[in-house]
């Protein structure tokens, strides 16, 4: 009789709610980021950034719970290393969103470029897709192809953002003559672009988990 890998699997009821909780925090942080990008009042930006910091702290707590649960559990729904990697990358995604918001407040750039908002909207879409994926994590055996398709959409977003980033950077170095302002803008858009890179890494990680177990 063939060895059944799934006989050793289990514990999804412990991990899936934690991934959903972290996804919900990422959705909240992404929405706050776009609010900060679009907000004209500096004082309001600072208040939104403080809210973002609280969300980021909650994310640290969830990530710690994932690690603790992994340490204590004898049965897990996926490979232990993959669970740890996914939890870590989700926390990093949340950190990168927070970092982008923090730069917007600390640097106080003279303007907010529409390209930044475009990338912010794409980060919101990444968060929405991640939330949808984790919502159906407990049905991954039935919905594996659908989940992998959403991971593919996250990868497409990263490619689209690369184009936005490259076009913006080309324009920035041509048009911005103030060295300090150029550095501010470069660091902000780089942080935003980095966030979508991490989202792609999350999608790649989830897709690999599904392929390995499928």
Q: What DSSP string describes the chain?
A: ----GGGGB--HHHHHHHHHHHHHHHHHHHHHHHHHHH---HHHHHHHHHHHHHHHHHHHHHHHHHHHHHHH-S-BSS-HHHHHHHHHHHHHHHHHHHHHHHHHHHH--S---HHHHHHHHHHHHHHHHHHHHHHTGGGHHHHHHHHHHHHHHHHHHHHHHHHHHHHHHHHHHHH---HHHHHHHHHHHHHHHHHHHHHHHHHHHHHHHHHHH-
Question: Does pLDDT of 8 surpass 60?
Answer: no
Residue 10 has pLDDT above 70, yes or no: no
pLDDT of residue 3: 32
User: Tell me, what's the pLDDT at 79?
Assistant: 87
Identify whether 3 is part of a domain: no
**5 in a domain, yes or no?**
no
Q: Are 13 and 82 in contact (CB under 8 A)?
A: no
Please give the C-alpha separations between residue 80 and each of 30, 73, 181, in angstroms, as whole numbers: 28, 10, 45
pLDDT tens for residues 29-69? 999 999 999 999 999 999 999 999 999 999 999 999 999 99
Q: What is the structure's pLDDT at 2?
A: 34
Domain ranges, residue 94: 12-213
The answer to whether the CB of 52 falls within 8 A of the CB of 32 is yes
Domain-located, residue 209: yes
Render pLDDT for 50-59 as a digit per residue (tens, 0 to 9): 999 999 999 9
CATH number at residue 67: 1.20.58.220
Quick check: is 6 in a domain? no
Asked if the structure places residue 4 within a domain, the reply is no
- Would residue 1 count as lying in a domain? no
Q: What is the CA radius of gyration of the chain?
A: 19
Indicate the Cα dihedral angle 65, 68, 72, 74, nearest 10°: 70
Q: What is the pTM of this model?
A: 0.93
Residue 6 pLDDT exceeds 70 = no
Count of the separate structural domains present in the chain? 1
- Which tokens go with 18? 């934690």
- The answer to whether residue 69 sits within a structural domain is yes
C-alpha angle 46-48-51 in degrees, rounded to nearest 5: 115
Contact 173, 153 (CB under 8 A): no
Is residue 7 situated within a structural domain? no
The answer on pLDDT for 146 being more than 90 is: yes
Tell me the pLDDT tens digit for each residue of 153-179: 999 999 999 999 999 999 999 999 999
Give per-residue pLDDT as tens, 94-111: 999 999 999 999 999 999
Q: What is the pLDDT of residues 168-208, one digit of tens each?
A: 999 999 999 999 999 999 999 999 999 999 999 999 999 99
């Amino acid at each position: 009789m063939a060895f059944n890998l799934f006989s050793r699997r289990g514990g999804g009821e412990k991990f899936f709610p934690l991934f959903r909780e972290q996804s919900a925090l990422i959705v909240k942080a992404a929405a706050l980021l776009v609010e900060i990008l679009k907000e004209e009042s500096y004082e309001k930006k600072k208040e939104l950034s403080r809210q973002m910091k609280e969300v980021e702290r909650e994310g640290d707590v969830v990530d710690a719970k994932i690690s603790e649960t992994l340490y204590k559990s004898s049965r897990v729904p996926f490979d232990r290393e993959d669970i740890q990697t996914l939890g870590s990358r989700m926390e990093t995604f949340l950190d990168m969103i927070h970092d982008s918001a923090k730069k917007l407040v600390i640097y106080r750039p003279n303007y907010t470029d529409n390209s930044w908002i475009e990338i912010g909207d794409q980060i919101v879409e990444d968060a929405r897709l991640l939330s949808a994926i984790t919502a159906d994590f407990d049905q991954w055996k039935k919905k594996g192809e659908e989940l992998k398709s959403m991971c593919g959409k996250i990868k497409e977003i990263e490619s689209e953002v690369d184009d936005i980033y490259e076009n913006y950077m080309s324009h920035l170095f041509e048009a911005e003559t103030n060295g300090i302002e150029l550095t501010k803008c470069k660091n902000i858009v780089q942080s935003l672009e980095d966030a979508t890179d991490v989202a792609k890494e999350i999608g790649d990680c989830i897709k690999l988990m599904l392929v390995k177990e499928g």
